[in-house]
Structures are given as structure tokens and as C-alpha cells.
Structure 1
């Protein structure tokens, strides 16, 4: 006689699966019964402090707000609010490869390293030269351009 193909492990997995299905069905029926006898959707209110509460807010605590006083967006700058910003930075050439045409400059203020390409040079530079430069957004970050020797 042939042996059964069903192993103990398979029967246990099947029992677990059936039990899970029954529990899911019971939960579904309980939700349906609760929805029928419930009074509907519960409401949540926002009180004058912005907190969620289950009771309606007191109309006497309501504050009238003028719609014109609400500013949407960034307020316009007025005369005298502008800060003077110097686009020219000073730094020192830490590395420059003449054969490849690029190098790096360390800013003297914040010690940041900036990439410099030979196309961004005004004067010819060498390693350890003090330079002034401007920053420009490149593909991989900020690049030093208009580099002049000091």
C-alpha cells in the first residue's frame, strides 16, 4: 500500500491557515455587527487651542480673524533690509594638477574645499598661492570661478 503524501508539517500549516481564515471571518462579522448597531461616524472637534476634542467648541471663545491680515508667502523686502553680501572669497590653493587642468582651493573663512578648473582661472596659479575667487554651482557642488592671484 502507498504512503500518504501529506506530511505532519503540511497538516500543521493547513490547520494554521484555516484557523487564521476563521479568525479573520469572525473579525469581519464583528465589524459588520458593530457598524449596524453603532450611531455612525464619531465626530472630532478642534477647540480654540487647536486640540482635538469630542465635544463641540464653545462659540463664546471663538476669535474673529481679519482675512486681510493673513500673509501668504514671503513678505517683500523693504529698503534697508538688504545685507551687504560680498561674492568674492579669499583662499589658498591646496592642490593643482597642471597636466589635467584642475585643482582645489581651501576657503580662508570656513576651511571648505572648492573645486577649480583651468577654465575658471583669470591668472595663472600655483600650489600655496593666495587667491580670490567667486563660487558657482557646478554638477557636483560649488566650484571656484574667476580665480585671481592676490
Structure 2
């Protein structure tokens, strides 16, 4: 389904999307690609779902370049991959005779 971001609070990590069906859908940062922050008025696509608390947007994908990774909420339970660095290899000098 398509929709428009009604509001999204980056500090709280959630907001609402107005779906093309006229309903508002709760969106949590965990339903967004890692590091993406939604902006008010931004067009998105999502999978509508419903639970005991109401309508939710899942697998949200931003349709514009307005999405930002600035100030994205951090999931403290996830581990960042450790980057391995390669040690410089010293070349051996060869005596030419």
C-alpha cells in the first residue's frame, strides 16, 4: 500500500503514516530499513497489518530521496559489524648480484 508520512518522531522512534485507504498506520523505526528516518509529507510504500493495538505499517520503504540517516534511533541490542583492517605488508629487499 502507498501512503504519506503524517509525522515521525526520531527521538521516540515512531510515528504515523496516512494510507491511501484513508486510515492512519502506526510505524515503528524497527519497520524501516536500518538508519532511515521518515520525514513529514514523504511518500512511502508499506505492508498494512493489524494487531491488538490497531493498524500498523510494516516493511516501510521511502519513495523519495528525502529520507535521512541523520539522528536515526539506534537499536542498542544490535551489534555493529567490526571492520577488519589489513596490516601493511613489508616488502623484503632483494640483493641483486
Structure 1 position 135, deviation (Å): 1.5
Q: Which residue does the alignment assign to 1:131? A: 44
Where does structure 2 lack aligned partners over 5 or more consecutive residues?
A: 64-97
**RCO higher in structure (CA 8 A, sep ≥6):** 2
TM-score by length of 1: 0.39
The structure that is helix-richer by fraction is 1
The structure that is strand-richer by fraction is 2
Where does structure 1 lack aligned partners over 5 or more consecutive residues?
A: 1-88
Q: Secondary structure at the match of 1:119?
A: helix
Give the alignment partner of residue 19 of structure 2, picking from 107, 113, 116.
Answer: 107
Q: CA RMSD in A?
A: 1.2
Q: Which residue does the alignment assign to 1:94? A: 6
Count of equivalent residues: 61
Q: In 2, distance between residues paired with 1:141 and 1:129?
A: 22
TM-score by length of 2: 0.58
Structure whose alpha-carbon radius of gyration is higher: 1
